[in-house]
Each structure stands twice: as structure tokens, then as C-alpha cells.
């Protein structure tokens, strides 16, 4: 896709951290009529390299983000954060409204239950952990490092916890093991992992996409129960499902600026 040209570059703030953000960043970096900055929350120690100028860390809430949009003369905000990054997404919506800068979210479709899936759905991580059996179980957690405190509320279980960055297992989880690995993952590998560790329950956020779906497919193959955490509710916003659709939305706004001679 060729984005329309205008007299000044289109300035975009890309809130990233997902495969969709990576794909969009690559495309935007090749468009001379666009000046984009990738913003990452900083939750991983070594994020993947990006061709865009990258900033790491928060903005200081809605007021801080609104001020950044004004100071940097940002024309568009693209929210391509994780579906469970509710705080930054909510702040981005509010900052967009306060500053008048249009916002688009790339919202990948959630996973849906198919035949042979054994899912129990929950509204929060805490609810999912509370729903685990009382007797010790072998449990795989694909919830990331932020969920470890919740796991400590049921320390009797034998957890296998997958995270992106290496991490020491807390003393409260005496029977847990942490493995550091970065997706995308393979169904066959996850099925072997679950079989080797005798996994009986899988804890998962409904992230959608293909990079982490392997644990859901592996659980289906092995007849393992999945405790699926539903996505958090967010205020209304304009959304698309893919990076290509986001590019079309960007092009539309860029053409509007060109027509106005901006």
C-alpha cells in the first residue's frame, strides 16, 4: 500500500508489544511520508528490535499521554498493545478524546471454543486460580510474570510457569518451576511439554492470535482443562483486526490531510 503524500510527515504514536505492532512498525518504517515512534511498556528486558524510533516506559497516566501527543504534534495514535493491557488502552482512549488526536486499536479476534475443548472461563486471574482444585495438581501457567503473585495464593500446586525473561521462582511456590521462552510456540512442543510434566490444568488469557495458541491446541489434544481468562472490558473505540487494515485507516487520514494541503 502507498500512503498518500502531504506537505509534512504524518506523525504517528504506535503503542506496541504485539506481533501486529511489529508488522505495522516494519511497514511504517519504509514510508517516507510518515514519522512514527514505537512506545513499549518495558515489561520485557530485551524486546525485539524495531526499525522505528522506540521509547520505553509509561507516560504518566492520561494527562502525561495527552501532553506527549501535544508536545510531539502527534497526528494519529495506533494502539497495538496486548488485549490485556487494559490500563494503557483505557488511558489512550481518554488521551485521544482530551487531545483530539484520532485513535485506532488493532484488536485481534479472541479465541473461541471448538469441539473437544474443555474450557472453564473466568473474569480474572484471581478467579481462575481460586477455581483450581484444592488438592495439589500439575498446572501450566501461560499467564506471564504478572500473574505469579496470584499463583502464590494457591501454593500447594506444582506449577510450570512460562515467562519471556528469566526469573527466580518465589519462595512461596515451593513446587513450581519457571521456564523462560519467547513465542511463537509449536503445538507439538507444547504437547510434549504437557505430557512430560503430567499437566492437568492450563491457565491462559484469551489473547487471540497464533503465537501462543499452541497451548490451547495441545490441551485439546491431551484432554486437559483450560482455565480461560476473559478479556477486560474497555470503553468504545474504533478497531480493526490486522496491521493491513490499520494501514488502510492511516492512508485514509493521510489523504484527508493531503486534500487540506497540510
10-109+233-259 belongs to CATH 3.40.50.150: no
User: What's the alpha-carbon Rg for the chain, to the nearest Å?
Assistant: 20
In the chain, what are the domain boundaries?
A: 10-109+233-259, 119-229
The pLDDT assigned to 261 comes to 52
Tally helices (H) and strands (E) across the chain. 8, 12
Q: What is the layout of strands, in order, in the sheet containing 239-240? A: 53-56, 34-40, 10-15, 76-79, 103-106, 239-240
pLDDT digits (tens, 9 = 90+) for 97-139: 999 999 999 999 999 999 999 999 999 999 999 999 999 999 9
Q: What are phi and psi of 121, to 5 degrees?
A: -95, 145
Topology classification of domain 119-229: Rossmann fold (3.40.50)
- Residue 219 pLDDT class (50, 70, 90 cuts): very high
Helix axes 243-259, 19-29, angle to 10 degrees: 40
Helix (H) or strand (E) holding 126, with range, is helix 125-130
Does residue 140 contact residue 201 with C-beta atoms inside 8 Å? Answer: yes
Comparing 255 with 194, which gets the higher pLDDT? 194
Is there a contact between 124 and 203 (Cβ–Cβ < 8 Å)?
Answer: no
> Which of 6-20, 26-40, 207-221 is least confident?
6-20
**Cell 485521544, residue located:** 96
- The residue among 32, 20, 33 whose CA lies nearest residue 104 is 20
Strand partners, 163: 180
Q: pLDDT averaged over the chain?
A: 92
Which DSSP state fits 100?
Answer: T
Residue 1 CB: number of other CB atoms within 10 A? 9
Measured CA to CA, the distance from residue 92 to residue 113 in angstroms comes to 30
Averaged pLDDT for residues 42-66: 87
Task: Find the mean pLDDT for residues 209-222.
Answer: 96
pLDDT band at 238 (very low <50, low <70, confident <90, very high): very high
Q: Which of 36-50, 123-137, 211-225 has the lowest mean pLDDT?
A: 36-50
Q: Lay out the sheet containing 119-122: strands in order across.
A: 119-122, 225-229, 201-205, 138-141, 158-163, 177-180
259 pLDDT exceeds 80? Answer: no
Percent of the chain with pLDDT over 90: 82
Angle at 150 between CA 224 and CA 105, to 5 degrees: 80
| Residue keyed to cell 473437544 | 116
- pLDDT exceeds cutoff 60 at 3: no
Amino acid at each position: 500500500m502507498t500512503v498518500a503524500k502531504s506537505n509534512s510527515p504524518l506523525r504517528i504514536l504506535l503503542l506496541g508489544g504485539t506481533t501486529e505492532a511489529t508488522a505495522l512498525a516494519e511497514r511504517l518504517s519504509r514510508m517516507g511520508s510518515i514519522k512514527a515512534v514505537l512506545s513499549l511498556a518495558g515489561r520485557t528486558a530485551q524486546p525485539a528490535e524495531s526499525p522505528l524510533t522506540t521509547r520505553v516506559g509509561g507516560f504518566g497516566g492520561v494527562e502525561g499521554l495527552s501532553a506527549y501527543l501535544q508536545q510531539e504534534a502527534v497526528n494519529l495514535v495506533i494502539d497495538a498493545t496486548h488485549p490485556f493491557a487494559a490500563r494503557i488502552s483505557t488511558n489512550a482512549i481518554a488521551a485521544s478524546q482530551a487531545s483530539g488526536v484520532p485513535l485506532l486499536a488493532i484488536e485481534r479476534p479472541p479465541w473461541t471454543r471448538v469441539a473437544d475443548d474443555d474450557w472453564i472461563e473466568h473474569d480474572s486471574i484471581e478467579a481462575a486460580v481460586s477455581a483450581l482444585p484444592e488438592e495439589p495438581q500439575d498446572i501450566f501457567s501461560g499467564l506471564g510474570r504478572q500473574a505469579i503473585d496470584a499463583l502464590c495464593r494457591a501454593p500447594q500446586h506444582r506449577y510450570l510457569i512460562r515467562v519471556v525473561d528469566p526469573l527466580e521462582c518465589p519462595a512461596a511456590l515451593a513446587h513450581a518451576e519457571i521456564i523462560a521462552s519467547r513465542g511463537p510456540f509449536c503445538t507439538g512442543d507444547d504437547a510434549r511439554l504437557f505430557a512430560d510434566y503430567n499437566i492437568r490444568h492450563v491457565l491462559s488469557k484469551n489473547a487471540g492470535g497464533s503465537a501462543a495458541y499452541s497451548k490451547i491446541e495441545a490441551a485439546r489434544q491431551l484432554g486437559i482443562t483450560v482455565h480461560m481468562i476473559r478479556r477486560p472490558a474497555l470503553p468504545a473505540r474504533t478497531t480493526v483486526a490486522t496491521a493491513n487494515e490499520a494501514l488502510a485507516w492511516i492512508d485514509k487520514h493521510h489523504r484527508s490531510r493531503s486534500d487540506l494541503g497540510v
